[in-house]
Structure 1
Amino acid sequence: MRSYTPLLALVADLICVLVFVVVGKTDHATGLGPAEVAATAWPFLAALALGWVVTLAWRSPGRIWPTGVLVWAVTVAGAMPLRLLSGEGAPASFVVVTALFLAATMLGWRAVALLVSRRKRQTTV
């Protein structure tokens, strides 16, 4: 494994969360200034950091199972109570959309990376 792989994987997960936040803020026209984005993003970013720590994701950051699934689950499950504590809502529809979007992106980039690495191995054999 290359030494920069965990950093790239973390950045990919961060981008997934930030894209989710920006798309949501755009759809709901709630402001895209740095303060508005940060106020919405922090529960997800904190939960993502927790997910990385509890799963030791840096050891195998590109694996879909268990790393990707567990980081995704902790991110979604951890962000919801933090949103509620900060005065934001977390209705069931929001939780479903959050879970689906983050699953598609956080697991999706890992699936693409896996396919690319397999293809590279096949062409070098």
Structure 2
Amino acid sequence: MSSLETKPAPTSPVRAAMGAAAVDTVLILVFAAIGRDAHHREEPILGVLLTAWPFLAGAAAGWIIARAWRSPLSVRRAGVPVWVASLVGGMLLRALTGQTVVLPFIIVATLALAVFLLGYRLLLAAAAQLRRRQGK
């Protein structure tokens, strides 16, 4: 390696966990925003937060239960627990607070949250595997 080339600094565990938690949060907010837009709901910002908070609370519970900060980009150790907790916790909290919980919404939420919360982790894992193969 020449003196002009620099090797990227490894990501610290705290930074990786904060980044993954931020991405999870943004993707859940995007999920809520897409849903609200599809149904032409009013109050875009407050409405998105109202729709998203149960799923965000569920995701936070998933992070704690799975101790996802230990391996925040792992599909199995972080992604799946955060996805399931955000979905189940979100639906339970919606039901408890009088928000709509109907089968079509559960199906859409299941698929959308899986694509979002598992998808980026799967892409990162595939990219890391490709880098390892190219490095051999």
Q: TM-score range by the shorter chain?
A: over 0.9
CA distance in 2, matches of 1:110, 1:119: 14
1:113 to 99, 117, 124: 124
1:86-97 equivalent positions in 2, closer than 5 A: 86-97=97-108
Whether 2:11 is the aligned partner of 1:2: answer: yes
CA distance in 2, matches of 1:16, 1:32: 19
Contact 1:22 1:32 in 2 (8 A): no
Whether 2:74 is the aligned partner of 1:67: answer: no
Decide which moves more: 29-38 or 56-65.
Answer: 29-38
**Which digits, 9 at most, give the CA deviation of each residue in 1:26-74, with x for residues without a partner?**
0001125321111111111111111101100010111111321111111
Superposition TM-score, scaled by structure 2 size: 0.86
Amino acid at match of 1:43: P
Contact 1:20 1:102 in 2 (8 A): yes
Higher RCO, 1 or 2 (CA under 8 Å, sep at least 6)?
1
Structure 2 gap ranges (5+) = 1-9
Amino acid at match of 1:28: H
Corresponding residue for 1:58?
69
Corresponding residue for 2:134?
123
Contact 1:52 1:71 in 2 (8 A): yes
**Which digits, 9 at most, give the CA deviation of each residue in 1:2-35, with x for residues without a partner?**
2211111111111221111000000001125321
Whether 2:60 is the aligned partner of 1:49: answer: yes
Contact 1:31 1:37 in 2 (8 A): no
Contact 1:26 1:32 in 2 (8 A): no
2:25 to 10, 14, 24: 14
1:122 positional shift: 2.3
The alignment yields a C-alpha RMSD, in angstroms, of 1.3
Structure 1 gap ranges (5+) = none
Amino acid at match of 1:64: V
Corresponding residue for 1:85?
96
Q: Give the total of aligned pairs.
A: 125
